[in-house]
Structures are given as structure tokens and as C-alpha cells.
Structure 1
């Protein structure tokens, strides 16, 4: 019971990370810069975690010899997910920023399981799993407001272009599911989920640094236009991300991967609703409608059918 409660709390901090990184973006001015800082802070956190758990601050790479090159691209996929979250959040709100990637994650997860992609365990498609995927899709449509003009009209982007942003959210979820599979394989190769997470974050940090150089993204500083110092918590997004990765690695052996996904998803749903309703951490405040709550319940039921 305590492990499941911990899973709900771990899931709840995921949308908080999005809010924190969005606040960081407002300060530094560019999504790429905000992502780089978040990844860098997360990398430092995981170096400390690796040092504590293994006795050395770096992962052992000897076991990766002869392994396929793609086991190292998880960090690059993480760049797509994190930067996409920062860009998507102010345009569609916290709930949609959570729901849309979940849809992509479920769809890609079914494909990965069905075909054993990235050396993942093979799990053939069954009627129950297909029904679960359909439930997730229907719940997602309800939560993002397809069935209610009032809900659909809450985002800062309106009209046909909103569907491009929603498509980006689904692609982000597909990248996230692929990242989980790839990092899972890397963790098996290294024998340590923490070291696999460190490599993923380090690769992501390097990719973002290269992108910053290529795009000549300026550093705007840590003070706002009025010359006031920004809140300290806007620098903690990377620590939150590292904590989520640790939570996955810690909980899965105790309560199982399926239950871990469900309880963390529950935490994500509850937290994103609260963030939209309360404007937590300077996030835009939005009205929550019954259709959204029903959609979230349907999503949770669909994930339970797929995972359990």
C-alpha cells in the first residue's frame, strides 16, 4: 500500500516538472535553453545518485561493447519529449500536455510489445489490449475537449493549428515509449537503472548543447524584466525528472511494471487537474469540466486493461 502511494506521489510530480520547466523557459527565454538547464541539473543529480549506489560517479561502459548503437539514443528522445513539453504546455494547458503524450505512449507501447522492438519482450496483441487502447483514445479525446467546445476553447492556440500541437503531443508520447524501451535495454546491459538514466541524461545534455551552439541561442540571464530575481524552484525540473526515473526503477520490482504505470498515471492525472484548476507555480488557470474528469477515468481504465 505504501509503495502504491509512493507511486501516486511520483506520478504527481511529473506535471509539476512541466510547470517548473515552463517557468524556467519564461526566464531564460528559449525552450532549448530551458531544456538544457533541466537536463544538466538532472545529470548532476544522477552523477551523485550513481556515486552513492555504485561507489563511482560514472557508469561502467565495458559491458556495452558489441551492443547496438541505438542503446545510447534514449537521451536524444528525451530531448524531444522535454522540449516538446515546454513548447506544448502554454499552448494547450497542463491536462492536454499530459494526456496527448499518454495516447502516443500507449499506441507505440502496443507496437513495441507486438513486434518485440528494441529487444523488448514480445507480447502479442489481444482483444483485451486493443480494447484498452481504444478506451485510452476515447478518453483522451474527451479530456482534450473534442466533445465539448468549452473545453477545446481553453488553449492559447485555436482553430486548425491546435491539431498540429496535439499531433506533436502524440509524437512526443511515441518518443517517450521508445525511450523507455531503449533505456530499459541499456539498464539490462549495464546492470543498473540509475547508470542507464545517467547515460540518457548525459546524452540529452550533449545534444542540447550542440543545438544551442548551432542555433546561437542567447543566454538571457536569471532576472526578469523588472530586475527581480526569479524563484529558486524553477531550477529544480532536472531533479524532479531524475526522481521520476528513480521511482520507476524502484517501484517496478516491488509492485510490478503494470501497477507502477497505473498508479503513476493516476498521480499524473490528479496533479494536472489541480495545476489547471489552481494555477499552481504561476501556470495559466483553466476551468475543469466534468467531461475531462470522465475522460481521465476512461484513460485509467484503458491503461489498466492494457497493462494488467
Structure 2
């Protein structure tokens, strides 16, 4: 794998945490309205992506091709909205660290299934035992991150 792509993926993960924190602050400053904060986040993103798309040759042919797409291919937007709303809603309630480690655990398990079985028309990339072991280590890290203080407190009584 290209090191640049790996670094880009790491930066995307950093951006997710920062986005959740920024959107949470926006929500709290507008009356704890998580839905409006998620909407504003998507609106800002739409403006930026629209500008980039226009600079890369326009939207006309792409919009024309949209009409022939099956409805399920539009689920990404709904899932993205659910993600942004979920982070804005949950971050102040469970904390950013708990939110992000659980998001990572959910992404990890879902991604393994999609890769292994080629779900959603993705290429099949069989998950090896080594990768399953890595996922188990990450899952253990999630458990320690969320329940570690309680476990330590229980063991030291």
C-alpha cells in the first residue's frame, strides 16, 4: 500500500474526531440543537464539494447519470447524515473518546464483513486470521478504553 494513502486515511480519522468536537460546540452554541448543527455541517460540506466538483469539469453529465441509478445507491447520504447527527448528539453524552472508539469498532467489524464477503458490490478481500487477531486486539482496546477505569477500580478494592 502507498504510504501517502495510509497517511491520508490517518488524517481522515483525525478529521472525524475534530469534526465531532466542532459540531458539538456548534450545537451547544445554538441551543443544543443537534439536528440543526448536523444540517449546517452538511450544508457547508455541500458548498465546498460543489465548488470542487465545478472546478473539475462541472456537474451536468453526472447529474444526468443520477436518474438511472437504483435508489439504494443514495443511501450514502442518509448514512452520512446519520453519522454526523450521531456524533453531534452522542459526543456530549458519552464523551468524544468513547464515541470515537465505538465508531472505530463499528467501522472495523462492518468493514471486515464487507471486504470478506464482497458486500455492496465491493471487491472480495478475504480477511486473514492475522487481521481477525488485529481486530480482536482493537476490540480489546475499545473495551479497556470504555470500561478500564471501572475494571481497575474493581480490582483495587
Q: Is the 8 A contact 1:25 1:34 kept in 2?
A: yes
Which of the pair has the greater relative contact order for Cα pairs under 8 Å at 6+ separation?
1
- The TM-score with structure 2 as length reference comes to 0.82
State which of 54, 68, 71 in structure 2 corresponds to 1:69: 71
1:18 maps onto 2:20 in alignment: yes
- Spell out, residue by residue over 1:130-151, the C-alpha distance to the aligned partner (whole angstroms, 9 max, x if none): 112211110111112x132289
Write 1 or 2 for the structure with the bigger share of helix.
2
Pick closer, same or farther for the CA change 1:68–1:57 going to 2, 3 Å.
Answer: closer
1:87 lines up with 2:96 in the alignment: no
Equivalent-residue separation in structure 1 for 2:125 and 2:8 (angstroms): 28
Given candidates 36, 61, 66, the residue that maps to 2:39 is 36
Instruction: Normalising by structure 1, report the TM-score.
Output: 0.44
1:53-202 equivalence runs, <5 A? 53-54=56-57, 56=58, 60-64=62-66, 66-144=68-146, 146-149=147-150
SS of alignment partner, residue 139 of structure 1: helix
Deviation at 1:2, TM superposition (A): 7.0
- C-alpha contact (below 8 Å) 1:48/1:57 kept by paired residues: no
Matches within 5 A, 1:230-241: none
Q: Distance in 2 between matches of 1:48 and 1:151?
A: 51
Distance 1:114 1:2 in 2: 25
Structure 1 residues 65 and 5 mapped into 2: Cα distance closer, same or farther (>3 Å)? closer
Cα 1:79–1:5, aligned 2, differ >3 Å: closer, same or farther? closer
Please give the secondary structure, in 2, of the residue aligned with 1:60. Answer: helix
Separation of aligned partners in 2, 1:151 and 1:28: 38
SS in 2 for 1:61: helix
Q: CA RMSD in A?
A: 2.5
Per the TM alignment, residue 16 of structure 1 is displaced from its structure 2 partner at its CA by 1.4
Inter-partner Cα distance in structure 1 for 2:62 and 2:68: 14
SS of residue in 1 equivalent to 2:124: coil
Gaps of 5+ in 1: 153-308
Q: In the TM superposition, what is the alpha-carbon distance from 1:12 to its structure 2 partner?
A: 2.4
Deviations 1:113-157 (A, max 9, x none): 12211100112232112112211110111112x1322899xxxxx
